Structure 1
Amino acid sequence: MAKGKDNRGKVTLECTGCVQNRVNNKKKKKSAGIYRYLTQKNPKNTPSPLELRKFCPYCNKHTIHGEIKE
């Protein structure tokens, strides 16, 4: 059983590969897009920004998704 309040907050993870491609390919008309995941984390246990390796359908491979501020 859980004791006390749950401190979990919502976190958005953004694909770092898509962000780099968008910056490098500004002249192209067709944008690849940026893929994002939603998850939760407890800021008391993990105060540093979260980075997970997840699949990005725009890059069509597993890339590092980093936490962004909303």
Structure 2
Amino acid sequence: MAGKNQLPFHVRATDVVHRLTVLGLAGFCIVGGGSIAFNIWANSDFAPWNKKKLKFEEEQYHQSRNEGDSSSTEA
């Protein structure tokens, strides 16, 4: 052994593998969570490119439903 406080090579190698595995898993989870959060935001009304989405009034919605219900009962 080179020094008194130096760990054996297999212990250091295992430690490096473990650290890289943990960092890889943590990074994967952070990137995955970030992409999910971005997709939720991108498809919401808060995203700047969704400002001109088709919008309608609640009254128009109820009128179209009533028209649809009356036409389905006539058939």
Normalised by the shorter chain, which TM-score bucket?
under 0.3
TM-score (norm 1): 0.21
TM-score (norm 2): 0.20
- Structure with bigger RCO (C-alpha 8 Å, 6+ apart): 1
Larger Rg: 2
Q: Which has the higher helix share?
A: 2
Q: Which has the higher strand share?
A: 1
